[in-house]
Amino acid sequence: MHVLSKLFVALVALLTAALVPMVVTYAYNEDSYKAKWQESRAEIAALQGRLDAQSGEFDAVKTGLSTRAAELEVSLRASRSDAADSSATVERLRDDLSQANGLKSQIANDLSTLASAVSANQDLTESLIDELASIRQEALAAERRRVELDETYRDTAAQLEVAVAARRALQEELQRMKGDQASSMDIIGRYIARFGELDAVASAGVLDSGIEPDRNLDATIVQVRRGGERNYAEINAGSRDGMKVGWIATIGRGGEYVARLRITAVDINRATGVLEMESETARGLVSVGDRVLIRTNN
């Protein structure tokens, strides 16, 4: 109950208690007291009205307070729920913080590992760069060697072509020399048929003041000198070919015997000899380009 309501109730009770003795005391003065009593009743009614009004206000205030209290209760429950949620959130945040700290440590470890890996990768990259530079140098050297080998191959191929051509020429020369040899043997045969076999002195190594050759050689007359008692001819074979002073050579032309040559002087690549058995009327004189055949008796 509100304090004002209690105060009014107490006041009404006091007034009632005061009026009863007055009624008894002033019974005889009924009119006077009746009027007073009516006034008192009017005052009481007024007070009751005021009390009722105060009670209404009190009820309204009470209702408002009850509503406010209910609202506050709801707000309190909501606050408690929010507080519980906040506590749960705080706990969750603490767990998240703990997990974050753990994750932070893990990240720090991962970063350390990553830094080590990056350092290792950097070292590996530098090593690979150095190795790549070395490989490039080797590749350049290999390319240079390839170019050199290509040039050597081309030179060798050219030399091979030259060698093949030279071999072909040598084969042709060999065939020609075989033909010349056959022609020379024919000339020698004709010489023997015409002048007879060599005597016993020739078999001992001496032939008409000459020396029997110890090898077979072919040469060509390159110069003829005539004058005086003897005529001389120069051939394109010398000491490098094994030519020696005193050898006797046969001179032929087109498969025919022309004369013979007794070597009297030998140079490195030239030899000079005296022309013998030369007949201008029968076989013609020796001239430049005639073949010179040197053969052993074996």
Q: How confident is the model at residue 271 (pLDDT cuts 50, 70, 90)?
A: very high
Q: Looking at the 3D structure of the chain, how many domains does it have?
A: 2
255-284: buried (b, 16+ CB within 10 Å) or exposed (e) per residue? Answer: eebbbbbbbeebeeebbbbbbbbbeeeebe
Task: Give the CATH number, domain containing residue 284.
Answer: 2.40.10.340
Would 191 be classed as within a structural domain? no
Residue 230 has pLDDT above 60, yes or no: yes
Residue 224 has pLDDT above 90, yes or no: yes
Q: Do residues 183 and 255 touch, judged by C-beta distance below 8 A?
A: yes
Q: Tell me the CA distances in angstroms from 78 to 44, 72, 96, 138, one per residue in order.
A: 48, 9, 25, 82
The per-residue pLDDT for 206 is 39
Of 38, 72, 88, which residue is a domain's last?
Answer: 88
Residue 198 has pLDDT above 50, yes or no: no
**Average pLDDT rounded to a whole number, residues 38-59:** 74
pLDDT, tens digit (0-9, with 9 covering 90-100), for 63-74: 877 787 788 778
Q: How confident is the model at residue 109 (pLDDT cuts 50, 70, 90)?
A: confident
Would 247 be classed as within a structural domain? yes
pLDDT, tens digit (0-9, with 9 covering 90-100), for 200-218: 334 434 345 567 788 889 9
Of 45, 69, 88, which residue is a domain's last?
Answer: 88
Q: At what angle do helices 30-195 and 3-25 cross, to 10 degrees?
A: 170
Would 95 be classed as within a structural domain? no
Highest mean pLDDT among 10-19, 49-58, 249-258, 267-276: 267-276
Residue 222 has pLDDT above 80, yes or no: yes
Q: Do residues 180 and 291 touch, judged by C-beta distance below 8 A?
A: yes
Average pLDDT in the chain: 78
pTM as predicted: 0.35
Tell me which residue range forms the domain holding 264.
197-294
Of 63, 88, 113, which residue is a domain's last?
Answer: 88
Would 84 be classed as within a structural domain? yes
